[in-house]
Structure 1
Amino acid sequence: MKRTQLSSAIGLVFGLALMAPVQAQQAGDTAATTKPAETKRSEVTQLEAVTVSARRRDESLEKVPVAVSAFTNEDMKDLQANNIDGLEFEGAAVLGEGTKLSTQLAWMDARYDKFVDPRTQVDPSLASLHSHVPFSPKFTARVALAHTFGLSNGSALTFGADASYRSDTWLSVDNRDGLMQKAYTVTGVFGVFDSVDGHWQLRAGVRNLGDKVYKTDGQEFSSVGNIQTAYYGAPRNWYVSARYNF
């Protein structure tokens, strides 16, 4: 089978430093913390970086990481390439002194040019069985906010929170209702302590603060008793970690 791939990317990076350069950091559960000396230099709203990209590509389904156990190699020859268009946005800003806001937004439009399934030809009621490309939510987003307090001894204490959103997502090649996850949002909170010498970092937090129940993956075997299996994300959980930098 011939495989073709067409890709294009448009990137825009915009940086504005009003007081002093600030190294981009990822806020949220994995955010690096801002040292007290750095926060004093950022007393005004500061836009660090904005990245926008667009992408389009044609791929054979053989290259898409999903299981297609219901089809033989001969069947796959009738399956044409699917198209994926999308836009991504990433931005970060320092708000006032020691407050960091970061966000990521993405839009994706995934679709099949053609999907030949003998079952849909025999049974017209299955015509919508492949209306959606699996694992291709139309919208995803994440926003995180963190604030760093400089302590009197020179160490730093950071508190933050984040929220992640994902729109409706189909989890199998056959679009089964039981293997579809409705749109959901997961939140988390965290705290980080950085020692004055930069050697020690202590971190604690809560993931999935609202104890949201959501599916992350699915498997279906239409040819084996129509078995459907769903996998779920972790429930609310707490964590504590310590790191030493040499």
Structure 2
Amino acid sequence: MPRAHRSVEETRTLVAEAVVDYVAHHGIAVWPEIPMERILESAGVSRASAYRIWPGRSAFGTFALEQCLAGHAMATLDEQRALALAQEVLGEAPTGSASRVESAARFIARAAEEELDLLLSSDRWRAFVRFQAVALDAPTPEIQELLDRIDSEDAARLQAVYASVAEVWGLAPAIAGGTSAIAEAALLLARSVVARIVAGRGEERLRSTYATALAALVRGSFRELPQGTVDLERLRAR
């Protein structure tokens, strides 16, 4: 049966989705060995159509790399859900019964569980995790530069999250390096846990360990500011 005529943009979209689906569910043994023919077949795109867009395997491999990297951004709860979750956490403890550090730790653990659901439901994220596992073994200078940039972006994003939590709960970092060091530790933990879950290891145990470890990170890394209070209006303002 002849394939329908498609625009270049439609073809690129179909192939991009096929790349992400393949890498997310099958992984790759060695980068850049992307099975071009198998992906084109899955996308329903002919080799002739593909070669008009990507003149060779190198060009196709570059495109596939871009699709794998596109899923790197860490998922975050939107402002409305973060505020609702903070209110839930605060409402669960009797007035004055829990320290602000403990309250913040429970908020981070609960938020992490929900964000993990967002990550694991994303084929783009799974594709990035599987690609990263292979690329880190023997990265080219170009890929290493890309991975370093991604790490910096994700660490900066997490640093903003922990700085916001400190501001809302009236806390200050209690360790050298402040929220930057806390964010780096949280990022390493998140990447490690997600990679193991994607690889098919015990998800339930890893989820529990992840939430427990993040809560412990907050408990050990922040102290309460004198006369500090929990101010959810600061969360609304962000």
Q: What is the TM-score of this pair, normalised by structure 2?
A: 0.29
Q: Work out which structure has the larger RCO, using CA pairs closer than 8 Å and 6 or more positions apart in sequence.
A: 2
Which has the larger share of helix?
2
Which has the larger share of strand?
1
